Structures are given as structure tokens and as C-alpha cells.
A and B are shown apart, each in its own frame.
Chain A
Amino acid sequence: MKRLQGQIPPMVTPFDRDGNICEASVATLVQFLNTKVQGLFVCGSYGCGPLMNVEERKSLVEMVSKHISPDLQFVVHVGTTNVRDSIELAKHAQDNGVHGVASVVPFYFHHDQESIKRFFERLVGAVDIQYTSTIIRS
């Protein structure tokens, strides 16, 4: 597996005043970062991924994929409360050319270790691209 290298900022998602994703600002921000960083981590905490629904998250990934430099590592966070949505997001990310997907443990409910292990087994098995788990601040 290839290691991630360099600065990969967790890109914030630009919204307009009404809370809709602003595609023009997404393009501007990605183009600003394209020559200054080595990758982008999209839909994480800074990206407000958990504040968006599945369709919005897919839409953002498509916007970023249109503008990101092919030289950059492109990682998408697909963590949700449930296996189905996370797998759907992971497959969609793979179809849009990302290099890796990442996920926190399923949130909101408290799950035992076996359930969390099963969650990650399902996600890892759903895609052929690199998979990185994430630990959030304890």
C-alpha cells in the first residue's frame, strides 16, 4: 500500500449564505490549494461531512474531482451512522477517481467492538482503493 505523503488539508466545504454548497467557491478553493498542498481530505470534520446528506456529499466529491490537480492525493471521508450510506459513499468516491477513503467509527449510537469491526470489514471489502480509518479526538 502506498503511504500518504505531505500536507493533505481537510478541505472546508464552502457554503453560501443559505447553507447550500457553493460550487464556484469550491472551484476557487480547490484551485487555490492545487499548487500549494500534496492532497485534499474531503467531507471530514472541517469539511462538515456529517452535516451533509448523502447526495450533498456525493455532489461535493464530484465538484472537487472536476477541479483537483491529478498530482494531488484525493481522500474522501465516508463515515456516517450506518454501513449502507458509508458503502454507497465509498463506492461513489471510487467511481470518481479518489485515491483513498477514510471513516470514523459509526457515530451517534454506542457500538461494541464486534459491531465496529464488522462496519470496517464491510467498508474495506466494498472498495478496491486504499482505506484509512480515523481516530477522532478522544
Chain B
Amino acid sequence: MRDLGAAGIKDSSFDIVAFERLERELGSSGFDVVLGTEAMFLSAAVLGARAFIPGLGNAFPEVCNDLYEAAISGNLDEARRAQSRVNALRDIMYLAKSTVVAVYSFLKIRNVCEAYPREPFLPLGSAELGRMTSELKELGVM
């Protein structure tokens, strides 16, 4: 890809070993290796990541920013806490069985905007939204 003129690659493999290999083999040549998830940004930042594409950031950008700032500044205690918070939110996302549908649900729960997924994705019912809301409150992000 680098030789074809591409500027970089977004790695959504969820495989930190694969990410490290991309950084090691391509990063030093100026080829941009961007992490395609928030789930392991702390580890990726230590290995050289400077950008990430977090689905969670649609609805909880401040939580993802806390992780970014702590990881990039090298505050590992704070970054570990932030990564744990992000991954706890990801566990709540999985209640929707689709992280895409989960983001629409989070936007509704946070009253950010009225947005529905497109079929074949289906919006969550009120019972599932209620459970998500309870878990978000329990986590302290609502």
C-alpha cells in the first residue's frame, strides 16, 4: 500500500501483535498506522499510535479523549483507568449485540439526537434501552 502511494492504514484487526508489526515494518517510513478501535488504544499508543477511530466516540467522545490524552502524555495510571472505563462501556455496547446499533442507542439515551439505524439493523426495544441506561448510570457516565 505504501508503494502504491497510500498515506496509511487503519488497523481494525483487534490484534495488538498485528498492530505492532505494522508499526515496526511501516511506521518508521512515515506510513501512518491508525488504530480502528478504542478497545486497545493504550497499548497501541505505547507502540506509536497517534490517532484512533473509536466508535464509542460518537456518543462518549469525552471518555475517549480522556484515554487519548492520558495515553499520549504517558500518564500510565490515568491511561489504564481510562482504558478500563472505555472497555466497560464497550461491554455495555455488546448488550445491543451490534456495536453499530449500540451507538444509536447511546445517542438516544444521552439525548444527543434522534437517529435510527438503517435496516437490516434494527433499533433496540424499550426493555433493552432501559437495561443499557441502568448500566450506564451504574458506571457513572450518565
Distance from A26 Cβ to chain B, minimum over Cβ atoms (Å): 8
Contact (A138, B57) CB under 8 Å given A7-B64, A12-B103, A45-B100? no
- Which chain A residues numbered 83 to 138 have a C-beta less than 8 Å away from chain B? 100, 102, 117, 120-121, 124-125, 130-138
Q: Is B130 an interface residue (CB 8 A)?
A: no
Q: Is B53 an interface residue (CB 8 A)?
A: yes
Q: Is the CB of A130 within 8 A of B54?
A: no
A44 to B4, CA, bound (A): 22
A136's nearest neighbour on chain B, judged by CB, is: B12
- Which chain B residues numbered 69 to 103 have a C-beta less than 8 Å away from chain A? 99-100, 103
A44's nearest neighbour on chain B, judged by CB, is: B53
Contact (A132, B51) CB under 8 Å given A1-B32, A29-B115, A121-B4? no
Question: Within 8 Å CB of B32, what residues of A?
Answer: 1, 3-4, 132
Question: Within 8 Å CB of B7, what residues of A?
Answer: 1, 100, 130-132
Q: Is the CB of B13 within 8 A of A138?
A: yes
Question: Within 8 Å CB of B100, what residues of A?
Answer: 12, 45-46, 48
Q: Is the CB of A120 within 8 A of B112?
A: no
Q: Is A11 an interface residue (CB 8 A)?
A: yes
Contact string, A7-31, partner B, CB cutoff 8 A, digits 1/0? 1111111111101001001001100
Q: Is A63 an interface residue (CB 8 A)?
A: no
Q: Is B10 an interface residue (CB 8 A)?
A: yes
Q: What residues of chain A have their CB less than 8 Å away from a CB belonging to chain B?
A: 1, 3-17, 19, 22, 25, 28-29, 32-33, 36-39, 41, 44-46, 48, 51-52, 100, 102, 117, 120-121, 124-125, 130-138
| Apart from the given pairs A12-B103, A134-B36, A135-B13, 8 other A-B contacts in the complex at a CB distance below 8 Å | A5-B50, A7-B51, A7-B65, A8-B51, A9-B61, A12-B58, A33-B61, A121-B5
List the 6 closest A-B pairs by CB distance, nearest first.
Answer: A9-B57, A14-B115, A4-B51, A36-B61, A28-B113, A134-B10
